[in-house]
Amino acid sequence: MNTSSAKIGYARTSTTDQNLDAQITALKAAGCGMVRTEQKSGASLEGRPELKTILDFIHPGETLVVTRIDRLARSLSDLQVIVAALKGKGAHLAATEQPVDTSNATGKAFFDMLGVFAEFETNLRRERQAEGIAAAKLRGVYRGRTAKIDMAALQVKLAKGLSPTEIARDMGVSRGTVYKAKALM
Q: Per-residue pLDDT tens for 87-105?
A: 999 999 999 998 888 888 8
The pTM of this model reads: 0.60
Task: Give residue 147's region: left, alpha or beta (phi > 0; psi -120 to 50).
Answer: beta
64 neighbors 58 (Cβ within 8 angstroms): yes
Question: Tens digit of pLDDT for each residue in 21-53?
Answer: 999 999 999 999 999 999 988 878 889 999 999
- Answer yes or no: are the C-beta atoms of 10 and 51 closer than 8 Å: yes
Options 3.40.50.2300, 3.40.50.9100, 3.30.530.20, 3.40.50.1390; which CATH number does 7-104 get?
A: 3.40.50.1390
The rounded distance, in Å, linking the Cα atoms of 102 and 109 is 8
Indicate which residues carry an active-site annotation.
Answer: 14
Helix (H) or strand (E) holding 26: helix 21-29
Q: Is 13 exposed, middle or buried (0-12, 13-18, 19+ CB in 10 A)?
A: middle
Task: Confirm if 100 and 111 have CB atoms less than 8 A apart.
Answer: yes
Q: Which 8-state DSSP code applies to residue 65?
A: E
Per-residue pLDDT of the chain (185 residues; tens, 9 = 90+): 544 579 999 999 988 888 999 999 999 999 999 999 999 888 788 899 999 999 999 999 999 999 988 888 877 778 888 988 999 999 999 999 988 888 888 877 877 777 677 678 778 888 999 999 999 889 988 887 777 888 888 889 989 998 989 998 988 888 888 888 888 87
